[in-house]
Amino acid sequence: MTDETFEEYKICLINKCLEKLKNLGQEALCFWNHIISKVFDFEQEQEIIVVNEYKASVSSMKIPVKIEDIKV
């Protein structure tokens, strides 16, 4: 897989995670998926948004940052 293709996949995955849920049924399904998979991090999507906003603000300042440096 080329770096360009990998970046496209990564952007698509981030966009999917950032999609707002359209109704209560989708939100309930999301929570049940967390419960069934025994991953009780119900605020994971919010954490992704915070990280992406931070990355965007840092990239606009032209400061090189690694994803490992970002702590939520």
Domain count, the chain: 1
48 domain-assigned = yes
45 domain-assigned = yes
3 domain-assigned = no
Residue 16, judged by CB atoms within 10 A of its CB (0-12, 13-18, 19+), counts as: exposed
Residue-range definition of the domain harbouring residue 41: 21-69
Inter-residue contact 40 to 30 (CB < 8 Å): no
pLDDT tens per residue across span 1-57: 788 888 888 777 777 767 777 899 988 887 888 788 887 776 666 676 777 777 766
Confidence of residue 72 (pLDDT cuts 50, 70, 90): low
Q: Which pTM does this prediction carry? A: 0.39
